[in-house]
Every structure is written in structure tokens, then in C-alpha cells.
Amino acid sequence: MKLTLQIQLLPDREQDAKLQATVKRFNEAACWLAKKAFELRLANKVALQKLFYAELRVLFGLSAQMAVRCIAQVVEAYKRDKSKCPTFRPFAAMPYDQRIMSFKGLDRVSLLTLEGRVIVPFVMGKYQRERFTPAVGQSDLVRRKDGKWFLLVVVDVPDGTPIPTTDFIGVDLGIKSIATLSTGKDFGGAALSAYRLKRHRVRKSLQSKAHRGKPSARKNARRVLRRTGSKERRFQKWINHNISKQIVETAKGTGRGIALEDLKGIRTRTTVRKSQRGLHNSWAFSQLRLFVEYKALRAGVPVVAVDPRYTSQTCSSCRHLGQRRGKVFSCSNCGAVLDADLNGALNIAAVGAVVSSPENSIPYAATVAAAD
């Protein structure tokens, strides 16, 4: 499997200036080429290269391989949505491959700029160092708003040895409880909700100051807004990394697989009150699923995605339809009363065991109908 490792570059002042000039020029060229591609409705890399390769090099002073990477970058962006012309920010990520980048040991990297190559020192954490290998594919050079440089390096790591299993841990995803396992473990979202509320109040206050008061106060408020804009996103990512790690460790330690709800398209299928839209739209269930899947692949733990229909309405004991009120699920058939999220997780685990066996692959809705 492929992993993306983030390593921090430590350029000196002269190297920083050269990197900035290179990235800006590259993205200027990408914007120019994107307009040409959009006007011609051309998304073929070979055809675009025949038409504009030489002109791209002359106008923007790019090296041969930089021009090739620029063309590939534009084609990739244009193919994602051909209804509009792609645009590139001055400091959008710049791709580097093995022809314009090479590692010099475990602490320096050689990067091609408009003024030749620069050898830049870098640092990485323990996690990155354990998985790093100089034999990498394409990498992205990124400059953050705070002026720090990072290299996003794609490396190949071996998959874990698959664990043979027929039993699964069900994972019920939610907003108040980020994840509830069929083992009874609950990853509550109280801390995240409190943090989001705090950040909302801070943003509201800063936005108010950014539009009124003295010019110096408005300028300071806008500066703080830019600096703190991604804090909530990073906090959410950190929480999802921790939760996914614990889920995978629990599954591997007990010799079980992981069954996850397939919630793709849920935002278009459900409606919420206006006061809850912000919370609903910031629900990062897709990120959590992605983290679980790649960690499980490394650990050799099988993961299945199941249809979530009826899993929150069905009794995990007798498989009859019951009633959910808030956090409590009750069944009128067998009299079971238990936590609604736990009940859903138990049903998801049962579905996972069914769909993982091809000979027993029966839609869960049909199972519910038969039981009812």
C-alpha cells in the first residue's frame, strides 16, 4: 500500500527565496495552461504537451521536467470538473518526481529550482522515519501560510498478513458519539463538540472585529483569523487518528474484522434543523473511515462496508423492528432495552459477518423483512 509521509524542510533564507520563486512561477504557468486547455476543451496530456510544451518553457522559464509535471497537473485538475477552468493559488502544491528531486541520506533532499538545485535539510518524526525509504514516487512541495515548508512524500509499505476471521466488530458512526463499537466501547464526541463551540465563538468575535473598529484592530483580527483557521480541522484529524488506531488495535487483538457503515451520500439523503447544519456538515465520518481502512490494511485486519438501512431500527437480539428514542432503543417483541448506538453497532457486526461470506450474501433489508 502507499502512504503519504509529511516531512518538514528547513531551508535557509536564500533557499527559501528560490523555492518561493519556483513555486510561484510553476503555478503561474499552470494557470496560463489551464486557460488554454479550457478554451480548447482539451484534457489529453499528450496532445496538450505537443501544443504548449515549448511555449511553456520559453514563457515561464521552466525546466523540461517541470514543464511536463505542470502539464500533468493541469490535465488532472481539468479532468476533475470540465465545466470550469481550473485555477491555482500562488503557493499551491508543486509536484516533484525523481528527475527533479533526490534524497541525500536521511536528512537532506535535493530540489530543482529556477536557479538550479538546492540541497535542503529536513526533519521527520519517529513515525515517518520508521516508514521512510529514499525510493519514493512523486512528492508534493507545500508552503503553509505560516511560511513553513513541507514535502509530502509517497512511499510503498508492505500490507499486513491477512487475519483469517469470521467474526466482526461493528462500528456505529455518529456525531454526539463519534464511534460506538459492538464490544461496548464508546468514543464520545463531547470534547470535540465543546471545542467546536469554543472555536465558533472565537470566530464570531474575530469576524465582528474584522469589520468594525479601528483599522489596526481590523487588521489584527483578520491576521488571527487566518492563523487559527485550520485549528479545528487539525484537532478533528487528530481525534480521528486516535479513534481509528484504537479500533484497529481492538480488532487485531481479538482476531476479528471491522464492519463499518457505508454513509456515502448521507448529507443529501437527510435533513437537519438550521441550528444543527454546522455540526452536521463538519461531521468527518468519511475521514474516520479512510483512517480505519488504511490502518487495518497495514495490520492485516479485514474491513467490510455495510448498508446502514434498518441497523438502528432493528433489535439486535430478536431481529424485529423496534423503536429508538434518543439514546435508548426498545423492542416490543422481546422487551430488550439498551443503548441505541450499541444496538446499531451489534447489528452492523452481524451484517458484516453475513456480507463477508459470499455464500451467505443476503441483503440486510431482506433479513429484517423475513424476521418481521
The Cα–Cα gap between 45 and 74 comes to 9
Mean pLDDT for the stretch of residues 234-260: 90
Q: Compare 176 and 106 and report the one with higher pLDDT.
A: 106
- Looking only at the bridges linking them, the beta strands covering 303-306 and 257-261 are parallel
pLDDT for residue 236 is more than 90:
no
The Cα–Cα gap between 186 and 206 comes to 35
Give the range among 89-103, 253-267, 327-341 with minimum mean pLDDT: 253-267
pLDDT for residue 6 is more than 70:
yes
pLDDT for residue 361 is more than 50:
no
pLDDT for residue 11 is more than 70:
yes
| Confidence at residue 90, expressed as pLDDT on a 0 to 100 scale | 94
| Confidence at residue 364, expressed as pLDDT on a 0 to 100 scale | 37
pLDDT for residue 173 is more than 70:
yes
Contact in structure between 183 and 348 (CB atoms under 8 Å):
no
The Cα–Cα gap between 89 and 234 comes to 21
Q: Is 150 helix (H, G, I), strand (E, B) or coil?
A: strand
Mean pLDDT for the stretch of residues 296-304: 89
The type of residue at 188 is G
Contact in structure between 111 and 141 (CB atoms under 8 Å):
yes
The number of beta carbons lying within 10 Å of the beta carbon of residue 331 is 20
Q: Compare 298 and 371 and report the one with higher pLDDT.
A: 298
| Confidence at residue 365, expressed as pLDDT on a 0 to 100 scale | 39
Contact in structure between 63 and 112 (CB atoms under 8 Å):
yes
| Confidence at residue 366, expressed as pLDDT on a 0 to 100 scale | 35
The Cα–Cα gap between 75 and 242 comes to 36
How many residues are recorded in the chain? 372
pLDDT for residue 279 is more than 80:
no
| Confidence at residue 207, expressed as pLDDT on a 0 to 100 scale | 80
pLDDT for residue 117 is more than 80:
yes
User: CA of 71: how far to CAs of 27, 51, 61, 238, in Å?
Assistant: 11, 11, 14, 35
Q: Work out the mean pLDDT of the chain and round it to a whole number.
A: 84
% pLDDT > 70, the chain: 89
pLDDT for residue 137 is more than 50:
yes
Res. 276 pLDDT band, cuts 50 70 90: low
pLDDT for residue 18 is more than 50:
yes
Residue identified by cell 482476531 is 255
| Confidence at residue 277, expressed as pLDDT on a 0 to 100 scale | 53
H/E stretch holding 139 reads: strand 139-143
| Confidence at residue 46, expressed as pLDDT on a 0 to 100 scale | 95
The Cα–Cα gap between 116 and 52 comes to 23
Q: Looking at domain 168-189+242-371, which of 3.30.70, 3.40.1350, 2.60.120, 3.30.420 is its CATH number?
A: 3.30.420
The number of beta carbons lying within 10 Å of the beta carbon of residue 261 is 25
Mean pLDDT for the stretch of residues 138-155: 91
pLDDT for residue 272 is more than 70:
no
| Confidence at residue 267, expressed as pLDDT on a 0 to 100 scale | 54
pLDDT in tens, 312-340: 888 988 888 888 888 889 998 888 898 88
Res. 151 pLDDT band, cuts 50 70 90: very high
When mean pLDDT is compared over 97-111, 144-158, 229-243, the highest value belongs to 97-111
| Confidence at residue 271, expressed as pLDDT on a 0 to 100 scale | 56
| Confidence at residue 136, expressed as pLDDT on a 0 to 100 scale | 66
Task: Report domain extents, the chain.
Answer: 2-156, 168-189+242-371
pLDDT for residue 275 is more than 90:
no
The Cα–Cα gap between 138 and 99 comes to 10
pLDDT for residue 191 is more than 80:
no
When mean pLDDT is compared over 75-79, 128-132, 180-184, 343-347, the highest value belongs to 75-79
